[in-house]
Structure 1
């Protein structure tokens, strides 16, 4: 799966939006410039995850934005999402690729060159690299640095999305790393004005 615009990649987290509606928040984020949406919800039932995925699939299809499902291959297949994102402790990428098929997007989280190269060999379309900056969204994430990010960038020729603590105050530090995009959670969903927050980040993304 090529020609995906990874520039501003939104990862969902219902805990951050409070009592606001997730679908409406994602809609505002897309209007503001988000180009990929990943549904990542850790503390809901499978049925609720499925229903949320269906609603987001309808929304993202309307705006022609890819919907990626985090971890849950079954949900990704059930709603015909654009793709799946997996971590190092999930189903191996090579098996996920077999089950997804060649036409779906497969993303893999990595934190070093070895993992990045393995992900590419096993069929990843892109890799998520992080955590680049300190983050509260994923408590077990090990912080990397921009030098490590650059080394990973130089080691593989598939798209790279940086993740972890990225916000409008530090995003420009990544502009010379030749990555393809940034994944954000609270920097968008934690704002009262989601459209404005997305738009501010979008115009600061000058990676390539």
Structure 2
């Protein structure tokens, strides 16, 4: 296995509708310039052709940044987009099937909600995935059909059992970053805390400062936006 560790500290999950007139590629470019370290392209409403076209634009926006592009659910489109890997949920293709499509060099993330999901993933071996997306930690309007929120205590329990780095997701606005960081996870994943913000760069920079433990974010206007579980 030749996959280098991902920098998961500030993980952006895109939402085409929330990005609005600015668009997904420009949102991604501004967010990465301000501190986003990993990007997941997500658009359940798009057909495969539109999704590939959007993905190639995002891939171009990430050129020479060193930031990985992961594809939500649609493992079969990773190669067509030129992405670095995929992220799947509990109801998607099983890990063995994903690996068969992706090969050994692509990244694969998995959404989990509880310790039982970690145990099930471990049956495939540590090399099956690269990280876990854990949540929702809190409820979020970004995805009304999300699983029941587990809170920080469940986040800690999953992280303690996981041999993989964990990314917290679900209801994480800037005011909750410090609490999540204290759980020992590798990063935070957000959607609406970046997508659709009036100043994407400023919103991202605030999250970056909060994650890095820089209290300067407290003096700046904050967003109450939340993220969603993938």
TM-score (norm 2): 0.86
Q: RMSD value over aligned CA atoms?
A: 1.3
Are 1:200 and 2:202 matched, yes or no?
Answer: no
- Partner Cα separation in structure 2 for residue 175 and residue 108 of structure 1: 20
Unaligned runs of 5+ in 2: 214-230
Q: What is aligned with 1:36?
A: 38
Q: What is aligned with 1:186?
A: 192
Q: Deviations for 1:15-50, whole angstroms, at most 9, x for unmatched residues?
A: 112222211111000011000000000111211101
TM-score (norm 1): 0.95
Equivalent residues of 1:84, 1:106 under 8 A apart: yes
Equivalent residues of 1:120, 1:158 under 8 A apart: no
Shifted more, 113-122 versus 59-68: the winner is 113-122
Equivalent residues of 1:127, 1:159 under 8 A apart: yes
Equivalent residues of 1:110, 1:128 under 8 A apart: yes
| Counterpart mapping for 1:8-157 below 5 A | 8-122=10-124, 123-141=128-146, 142-157=148-163
- How much does 1:172 deviate? 1.0
How many residue pairs get matched?
207
- How much does 1:60 deviate? 1.5
Q: 1:120 to 1:159 in 2, by over 3 A?
A: farther
- Partner Cα separation in structure 2 for residue 139 and residue 76 of structure 1: 27
Unaligned runs of 5+ in 1: none
Q: Deviations for 1:111-160, whole angstroms, at most 9, x for unmatched residues?
A: 01111232244211101011111211111112111010001011012110
- How much does 1:206 deviate? 4.4
